Amino acid sequence: MFPASFDFYRAHSAEEAVSLLGEHGADSRILAGGQSLIPAMRYRLAQPTVLVDINQMQAANYITEENGELRIGATVRDSDLEFSDLIRTNYQLMSDVSDVVADPIVRFRGTLIGSLCHNDPSGDWPAAMLAARAKMIIQNKDGKRVVNADEFIVDSFTTAVEEGEMAVETIWPTPSKNTGASYQKIERKVGDYATAAAAVQLELNEDGTVKEAGIGITAVSYVALRVAEGEALLRGQKVTRNLIKAVAAEASKMADPIADGRGSAEYKKEVVGVLVAKGIMQSLERLGRKVEA
Amino acid sequence: MEITLNVNGQEHKVDVEPRTLLVYALRENCGLKGAHVGCDSSSCGVCTVVLDGKIPVKSCTMFAVQAEGHEITTIEGLGGGANLHPLQKAFHEQHGLQCGYCTPAMIMSSYALLQHNPDPSEDDIRRGLSGNLCRCTGYMNIVKAVQQAAADMRQPAEAAD
Amino acid sequence: MSDQIKDLNPAKECRAMGKSIKRREDARFVQGRGTYVDDIELPKMLHMAIVHSPYAHALIKGIDTAEALKVPGVKAIITAKDLAGFNLDWIPTLAGDKQMVLATDRVMYQYQEVAAVFAETRAQAVDAAQLVEVDYEPLEVVADPFKAREDKVILRTDREKKTNHIFNWNVGDREATDKALAEAEVRVKQKAYYPRVHASPLEPCAIVADMNTATGRLTLYLTSQAPHAHRTVVSLVTGIPESNIRIVSPDIGGGFGNKVPVYPGYVCAAAGTIVLGVPVKWVATRTESMTTDSFARDFHMEAEIGATKEGKVTALKVTTVADHGAFDAAADPSKYPAGLFSICTGSYDFPTAFTEVDAYYTNKTPGGVAYRCSFRVTEASYMIERAMDTAARELNMDPAEFRFKNFIQKEQFPYNSPLGWTYDSGDYETTFKVALEKVGYEELRKEQAEKRAKGEIMGIGISTFTEIVGAGPSKDFDILGIKMFDGAEIRIHPTGSVIVRAGTKSQGQGHETTWAQIVAEELGLDVDKILVEEGDTDTAPYGLGTYASRSTPTAGGALALGARRIREKAKRIAAHLLEVSADDIEWEDYKFQIKGVPSKSVTTQDCAFAAYTNPAPGDEPGLETTYYYDPPNLTFPHGAYICVVDIDKSTGEVKVRRFVAIDDCGTIINPMIVEGQVHGGLAEGFAMAFMQEIVYDEEGNHLNTNYTDYLIPTAYEVPKFETGNTVTPSPHHPIGAKGVGESPTVGSPAAYVNAVIDALSPYGVSEIDMPISREKVFSKLRAAGVEAF
Ligand SMILES: Cc1cc2nc3c(=O)[nH]c(=O)nc-3n(C[C@H](O)[C@H](O)[C@H](O)COP(=O)(O)OP(=O)(O)OC[C@H]3O[C@@H](n4cnc5c(N)ncnc54)[C@H](O)[C@@H]3O)c2cc1C
Ligand code: FES
Ligand code: FES
């Protein structure tokens, strides 16, 4: 199929992008990896009249770790994360997601920030963003602001990025040595959006109790959700089977999925709890720990 | 708009619309029919070509204008005639193709895979090619072909060690 | 530089049969130089886009094309009214019904074609199609055959009979079967739904239609599995003489039955070129392909088996409700509206049987193609293999043992089945034993028992199926009256190279290699020197095409017998060259020699040269023939498949650990190609068992319109296969071959499903329908009280 006509601009800096977006208004869009936008345009579900391509924005292509934070620019692709030793060793959750998001070819184009901005209710990255307590830097003609994950994710396909703005950097706190994480996704095949998925990140104290917990679930509501009640249950506790069950139940309780080709609402609601449980267990395992009796 | 595409080491000046997808520019403007089209949703991968020597892309999910300034390699640039690429040879020898519709893309995707991982396990190959559909072969012989080609391609390097 | 690649060509080889000769068609494909329909560009060519209905059932109150016609580059827009002027608004279907080309006064299914736009570029055509305004008045939708059966809403108001019932077709002895069932010691019922699926070759359907207004010749480059049949149909519907129609089916990117029908898009493109006088290209988008191509299956079946307590089957009854969609466009031989479904007694010696199929119209896409299947054999095989497992479970008997008790024995062939077929040959026991041995059945059952004791879930599934292929003998089989024989032409050039042409059309099956092997073997020629050409109706002899595993049984026979006819003439030439009488010549070691004198011999190549330079006195010069082969019977390939699965308790994920497939397709022409066909078919069987399905909601909305929702497995999902063969030649086929392209799709789904049910049987599970999603397994485990973690 064939997209409707549009005007094409290349932006070489965030300032240029923001000014082009300002100039062309509501029907202009940033073109990042294009792996969501172009298919939507082929179906004519999206018909922007202006595209601002950011792919040649060299300065936006960075992954840097400093002062306990990982900073990622707007043109960093899923495959950059998938093949990065730094990510593989220090950012378990991100590494897990970069192995299962979309398919291996799509990952060579799709960007982390593009995916977050797209904010598909079944997207993988938003759930991870919530669990990892990541932030986004958004730029407009007046300057930049930082929003945390909970504020960034607003509604289906809607984020805190407003008309005339560009997301320029995402910041992920560097997990401590005592942090284990896991991304659990049920997909019907490679390249499928999640039927349900759970992102879990657990930081433990020396005594094995939970210092901090992050749990994000996706594909079970109109947006990715943070399982705040479950996180609260875990904090300060030893992880027992019963506790895991309680946390899983919190996830299922929050979930408000729709029935579709991927499954019935009841199934998704139930299975997302199972995924949270599996995520907690794998996070512990990866720290060389077991579920307490 | 007029753009210049560098395909298989050759410059093509082509007149396209901004909305022209790379796959159609390659097929209809450059006359290179090796990349095919099989879906509307960026799912099948039969349009896969390689950018800058090692990046596989679905050429239906990129605008032709975006390919300006990149080196594009299509199946036609990989090898031909008496100089077949080891992958092309291996697909033939291992019966890694039937109708041939997915084949150019499968080979290009395998090519990119081997650039990133010259000695892939069977699992690496199956995962690495999971953005490309084949409806005929059941993938068994495609996996074997990639294994054969990987061994062939490693040989000179290993011999040099 | 020549395109021919030296190392890609096989070594000189005349002893060609049974060898894994590398494929000769590969050279162009691995270089991206195949020619598929979309690769064809003609001067002044226009592109066509189609306007589709968003409703499944609605009246059309008006169509406004004014805005659309203003789009730059648009040349014309046609609707049913325009087609009516050419008598092309409706066309006959293969099943003797008729179907709309473009919606006339109403639409009958979602995505039905409503108008066609012709423009200079594809994008312009789509731009304009988006602007065609259609005024619909929605009608009540019937998207379920059981609802259709009630006849509350009559869908086909154009037909005289005011009912949604299309046909009842039955075979066998109803009374005797009912009686035998009533008297049976054990009666087992089994329901099974074979989901609606789409064959989905990766190349969508496409056409370049080119009317040369100067010569009056219409050339159609078409994704066609049956070019001759299509030419005849085009001639019948347009009134253009066949001599003025040329159909070229170039390289085809997979067919699987999907490219047998004549689709509305083709007719619109042909009408476009006739009206506009310039070539028109239409390439279906994947969405169009998924929503308007003929579907396959959609059979709601129920089987009942009667048996003795000792496990001997006594009777089989199978009843089916078939959903045919809005028009009866099923692709079956004329006398067989439910295809060869009556093969449903399978490999087992049922003394009595009865089957019937009732078909209904619904507001869904029409179809009923034989998707990698010989006319409903897939449904039949699946039904009997599922029911046999259920019966074994009911009898508390191992499913393997139960099968051994009931196989048709080797000595019983030719075997007359209670539903009227004469099976040609088979050795079911041997094939099954080879499979059991290869998989290590005994040990697996032991392992399973141990795992069960630990609460782990593992299953073993069996399918020992019999196919029926190679339609067929012309006394029984025709399509639109055209008998289902097939033709082959062999021309030997003076220097001994050959061109072979056949009425079949490869879509990946490798005919350019296997056809050459048959001819090489029969005539002692180099495979290397035999060029095979198919798909051009101007040059190929008539034949009904490639589907239903019929190419080897029909064209394969024509080639072998044609070659033998040539050999007869060559023998006379040999006699002339060796200066003896033809009676003194024998064909020995791929040469003609004076009887008992190997030193006095000539080759077919020598004879070919003589045929043009020194013909035998009184003989016609030249060395060529055309042979039409009408097979005396169908062929009955069989196989034994065993699948082993492990199931993850927490998510319901099924992992296929092993899949052993032993096929018996008679004589094997090329083992490499046979194995490749089996791999492909097993993968499609896997796809049907676990992933593929077309679903409609109650409003008739099609829910699987592209590959994000219609799941085609990747290399990551498809399991590994272990293949093997036994060889029981067909006694009536010239080379003993039976055909194999479809056995794996026919035989494997039941093995996958039986394995999952076997795994779940300790939890009281005896039913699960395809496709087996994780949800289905997950819910069954949870319902049985198995904890997820
Ligand atoms: C076959 C296939 C399978 C897929 N499977 C999955 C999957 O399993 N899980 C999943 O999560 N995703 C999946 N995706 C989506 C894929 O990961 C996309 O790449 C991603 O969602 C979008 O990233 P992109 O860089 O391609 O963004 P684009 O498509 O370029 O843009 C997406 C949207 O975000 C906006 N945008 C992009 N960048 C910025 C920015 N810097 N500032 C402001 N706005 C911006 C665009 O204007 C657009 O509206 C799949 C895609 C395909 C084609
Ligand atoms: S055509 Fe299907 S992914 Fe490009
Ligand atoms: S060879 Fe036909 S799709 Fe792969």
| CATH code of the domain covering residue B70 | 3.10.20.30
The crossing angle, in degrees rounded to 10, of helices C377-394 and C743-760 is 30
Cα–Cα distance, C499 to C134 (Å, whole number): 52
Same-domain status, B115 and B74: no
B67 and B104 belong to one structural domain? no
B94, B58: one domain: no
- Residue B157 is predicted with a pLDDT of 58
User: What does the pLDDT read at residue C472?
Assistant: 78
Question: Percentage of chain C surpassing pLDDT 70?
Answer: 98
Average pLDDT over residues C121-141: 98
Residues of each domain in chain C carrying CATH 3.90.1170.50:
37-139+204-252+259-292
Kindly state whether residues B10 and B72 are assigned to the same domain: yes
Would the pLDDT of C14 be above 80? no
The CATH code of domain C37-139+204-252+259-292 reads 3.90.1170.50
Give the Cα separation of C462 and C386 in Å (integer).
Answer: 9
Mean pLDDT (chain C) is 95
Domain annotation for chain A: domains and CATH numbers: 7-53 (3.30.43.10), 61-173 (3.30.465.10), 181-285 (3.30.390.50)
CATH number at residue B154: 1.10.150.120
At C3, is the pLDDT very low, low, confident or very high (cuts 50, 70, 90)? very low
> Do B70 and B24 have their domain in common?
yes
Do B38 and B97 fall within a single domain? no
**CA nearest C740: which of C657, C637, C656?**
C637
Mutation for testing the A interface, residue in C714, C774, C780 having most A CBs under 10 Å = C774
State yes or no: pLDDT of B12 exceeds 90.
yes
Co-location of B73 and B94 in the same domain: no
Number of H helices, E strands in chain A: 11, 14
Q: Is the ipTM of this complex over 0.90?
A: yes
**Do residues B91 and B74 share a domain?**
no
Confidence class for position C2, pLDDT limits 50, 70, 90: very low
The pLDDT value given to residue C551: 84
Question: How far away is chain C from the Cα of A2, in angstroms, using its nearest Cα?
Answer: 5
The answer to whether C593 and C601 are in contact (CB under 8 A) is yes
Residue C789 to residue A270, Cβ atoms within 8 A: no
- pLDDT value of position C336: 94
In terms of residue numbers, what domain contains B29?
2-78
Write down which residue in B78, B103, B127 finishes a domain: B78
Q: Domain end: B78, B96, B126, which one?
A: B78
Q: Look at ligand 3, atom 2, and give the residue with the nearest C-alpha.
A: B99
Between β-strands B48-51 and C90-92, what pairing exists: parallel, antiparallel or unpaired? Answer: unpaired
What is the C-alpha end-to-end distance of chain A, expressed in Å? 57
On whether the pTM is more than 0.95, the answer is yes
Interface mutation vs chain A, best among B61, B65, B139, most A CBs within 10 Å: B61
Q: Which of A1, A7, A109 sits opposite B57 (nearest CB)?
A: A109
- Say whether both B92 and B49 belong to one domain: no
> H/E element holding C457?
strand C457-466
Residue in the block written with tokens 């939708």: C141
For chain A, 293 residues long, the average pLDDT of each consecutive 10-residue run is: 94 98 96 98 97 97 97 98 97 98 98 98 98 98 98 98 98 98 98 98 97 98 98 98 98 98 97 98 97 86
Residue of chain C whose alpha carbon sits nearest to that of B19: C123
pLDDT of residue B158: 56
Looking at B53, B78, B103, the residue that finishes a domain is: B78
Ligand 1: residues whose CB is within 6 Å?
Answer: A 29-37, 39, 74, 101-103, 106, 109-111, 113-115, 117-118, 120, 123-125, 161, 166-167, 191, 193; B 42-43
The matching CATH number, chosen from 3.40.50.300, 3.30.365.10, 3.80.10.10, 1.10.1050.10, for C3-34+486-629 is 3.30.365.10
**Cα gap A94→A201, rounded to integer Å:** 10
3-state secondary structure of C724: strand
Q: Do C714 and A189 touch (CB under 8 A)?
A: yes
Q: What is the pLDDT of residues B16-55, one digit of tens each?
A: 999 999 999 999 999 999 999 999 999 999 999 999 999 9
Q: Are residues C737 and C553 in contact, defined by beta-carbon separation less than 8 angstroms?
A: yes
The distance of C776 to chain A (nearest Cα, Å) reads 9
- Active-site residue, C373 included: yes
pLDDT attached to residue C698: 97
User: Quick check: C623 pLDDT over 80?
Assistant: yes
Is a pLDDT exceeding 90 seen at residue B136? yes
Comma-separated ranges of CATH 3.30.365.10 domains in chain C: 3-34+486-629, 295-471+633-783
Atom of ligand 3 nearest to the CA of B46: 3
How many domains would you assign to chain B? 2
Q: Is C39 on the interface with B (CB under 8 A)?
A: yes
Comparing C452-466, C469-483, C759-773, the range with the smallest average pLDDT is C469-483
Class of domain C295-471+633-783: alpha beta
Q: A5 at the B interface (CB within 8 A)?
A: yes
Reported confidence tier of residue C739, pLDDT bands at 50, 70, 90: confident
Least confident of A171-185, C325-339, C377-391, C439-453: C325-339
pLDDT computed for residue B155 by the predictor: 83
Buried/exposed code over C601-640 (b: 16+ C-beta within 10 A; e: otherwise): bbbbbbbbbbbeeebbeeeeeebbbebbbbbebbbbbbbb
Q: What is the pLDDT of residue C1?
A: 31
| Pair (B74, B6) in one structural domain | yes
Show the CA angle centred on residue A207, arms to residues A202 and A208, nearest 5°.
30
B106 and B45 housed in the same domain: no
Taking CB atoms and an 8 Å limit, are A39 and B66 in contact across chains? no
Residues of B in contact with C677 (CB under 8 A): 98
* Same-domain pairing of B97 and B48: no
